Amino acid sequence: MAKVVILSGAGISAESGISTFRDSGGLWEEYNIDEICTAGCLDWNYDQTIEFYDKRRLDIKDKLPNKAHIQIAALKEKYPDDIAIITQNVDDLFEKAGVDEVLHLHGFLREIRCMECNYLEDIGYTKLKDNWEDCPMCHNKLRPNVVFFYERAPKYEDMFLEMDDCEMLVVIGTSGNVINTDMFLTSKWSKSTVKYSILNNLEPSVAINDKLYSKVLYKKASVAIEEIVEDIENFLNVT
């Protein structure tokens, strides 16, 4: 497992023009979130849910990685075995920046999977509705490979495994409302080996106790990234 874990949220992609359901305006205001992002919605609102994620997939097609993605990608290439990149985001900006190994905790927007046999396919930025009738393996319905609210997120198990050996934790662009990153820095996380931690957000969040972190940077990820990269390299070269 890697010594350094970089855990990112929506804030790192915001500078590339990708919005979340917490933002006002745009695609998210065209739909009722409870009807297209909640467990069970595919059972009673399948067509509209598929339509929404088809639009989201098309929306990320032209979005480009920003300075933070690019510098993290370069760092991962330089220290492939020492750095793990984990993201709550379903976009492909890290992949566009050149990262081959990204742990997507909440799924990957370019992928679809079968609701029955879990057949998985990367369809890029195409529409599921227009190009796929059913699963090519078992002929059941297909869905976006994205974790809806109240659905189980199986990749969390992989995140906890990474954290078992983590010595430096870098948190970028997350409010802490979905994943309580503080837990990795407290005694409640019995296996934690974190020696140094960095929190980078635009502003304080009521869900995060910033006093737990070794360094706190309240600024855009693209502005903070050079200092973060320098700290990571210094940490890796000393330990």
> Which positions are annotated as active-site residues?
106
The order of strands in the sheet holding 120-122 is: 120-122, 107-114, 142-146
Residues listed for the chain: 239
Cβ proximity of 92 and 60 under 8 Å: yes
Q: How far apart are the first and last CA of the chain?
A: 15
The DSSP secondary-structure symbol of 147 reads P
Instruction: Determine the Cα angle at 120 with ends 179 and 64, to 5°.
Output: 60
* Alpha carbons 78 and 128: distance in angstroms, whole number: 37
Cβ proximity of 113 and 147 under 8 Å: no
CB burial readout 142-167, b (16+ within 10 A) else e: bbbbbbbeeeeeebeeebeebbeebb
User: Which ranges of 105-208 does DSSP label H, i.e. alpha helix?
Assistant: 128-131, 156-164
* Alpha carbons 13 and 83: distance in angstroms, whole number: 20
Per the structure block, which two tokens stand in for 62? 């032209």
